[in-house]
Homo-oligomer: A and B are copies of this chain.
Amino acid sequence: MLNDLKNSAPRDCGDCPIRHRAVCARCEADELEQLDQIKYYRSFEAGRTVIWAGDQMDFVGSVVTGIATLTQTMEDGRTQMVGLLLPSDFVGRPGRETAAYDVVAVSDMVMCCFRKGPFEEMMARTPHVAQRLLEMTLDELDAAREWMLLLGRKTAREKIASFLSILARRNATLNLSQTTGALMFDLPLTREAMADYLGLTLETVSRQISALKKDGVIELQGKRLVKVPDFDRLLDEAGDDSDGGVLS
């Protein structure tokens, strides 16, 4: 409850790790300077809630480092995660007063924030921010629709395999490795959080991970480090169109 505020090395946009992927990606030097003047950083410890659904939300921003989740909860407590926010992902919606979802930091996290008013003015003035935001929103919409297929039609095993292959692919993109052959990555979520993302119970998540391990699709080192000896095998288990899509 205390902080949010310990200033974690305010950065210069020039060497920001998400400079070319976030909402500012298309900005020219002068636009970047405008953004620079209205931005501020906030840090959150793992487990902290960034904002509650329904609360007044007077800022928008980008995840700089760390991971957060977007979740919806029904009155009786049933919970569905509707987004996993990784570095460069955008939080909040211009033109809306209140938060639509709970946003929770899953790891220690730093956000680059803008007060909503100035940000909206900026959007109206400079097309590059709005353009980039549209592009990012369309990508998120595609991801949400892919998730609808997963939630509505995939089996528990396919859900787990799909989730793991998304994490694996993302990890391969951030690092330099190629998407075939063996690769390793960290599981950033607890079994329970995975269950909330996949529309399962934590017991089922645990069982299916064990099953995939027994079948040699994955190997575990500890509870959180996953090794995938054959990525195509994992993709196959995910039931996706095996287009083997090139990393973008």
A residues neighboring B (CB under 8 Å): 70, 72, 74-76, 78-80, 82-83, 93, 95, 100-101, 124, 127, 130-131, 133-135, 137-138, 140-142, 144-149, 151-153, 198-199, 239-241
CB < 8 Å: which of B130, B134, B151, B153 contacts A148? B151
Instruction: List B contacts of A241 (CB < 8 A).
Output: 74-75
Question: Is there an interface contact between B93 and A145, defined as CB atoms closer than 8 Å?
Answer: no
Question: Is there an interface contact between B149 and A72, defined as CB atoms closer than 8 Å?
Answer: yes
Question: Is there an interface contact between B74 and A199, defined as CB atoms closer than 8 Å?
Answer: no
**18 A-B residue pairs with CB within 8 Å:** A72-B145, A72-B146, A74-B149, A74-B153, A78-B153, A79-B153, A80-B149, A83-B145, A101-B145, A124-B127, A137-B138, A141-B141, A144-B148, A147-B148, A148-B148, A151-B151, A151-B199, A152-B199
Instruction: List B contacts of A93 (CB < 8 A).
Output: 138
Instruction: List B contacts of A82 (CB < 8 A).
Output: 145, 148-149
Instruction: List B contacts of A145 (CB < 8 A).
Output: 70, 72, 82-83, 100-101, 144
Instruction: List B contacts of A152 (CB < 8 A).
Output: 80, 151, 198-199
Q: How far is the CA of A149 from the CA of B148 in the complex (A)?
A: 9
- Minimal Cβ-Cβ distance residue in B for A53: B241
Q: How far is the CA of A151 from the CA of B144 in the complex (A)?
A: 12
Q: How far is the CA of A130 from the CA of B78 in the complex (A)?
A: 37
- Minimal Cβ-Cβ distance residue in B for A76: B239
6 A-B pairs closest in CB distance = A152-B199, A151-B151, A144-B144, A82-B145, A80-B149, A80-B152
Task: Give chain B nearest CB distance to A130 CB in angstroms.
Answer: 6
Q: How far is the CA of A153 from the CA of B107 in the complex (A)?
A: 25
Task: Give chain B nearest CB distance to A60 CB in angstroms.
Answer: 12
CB < 8 Å: which of B70, B95, B135 contacts A95? B135
Instruction: List B contacts of A95 (CB < 8 A).
Output: 135, 138
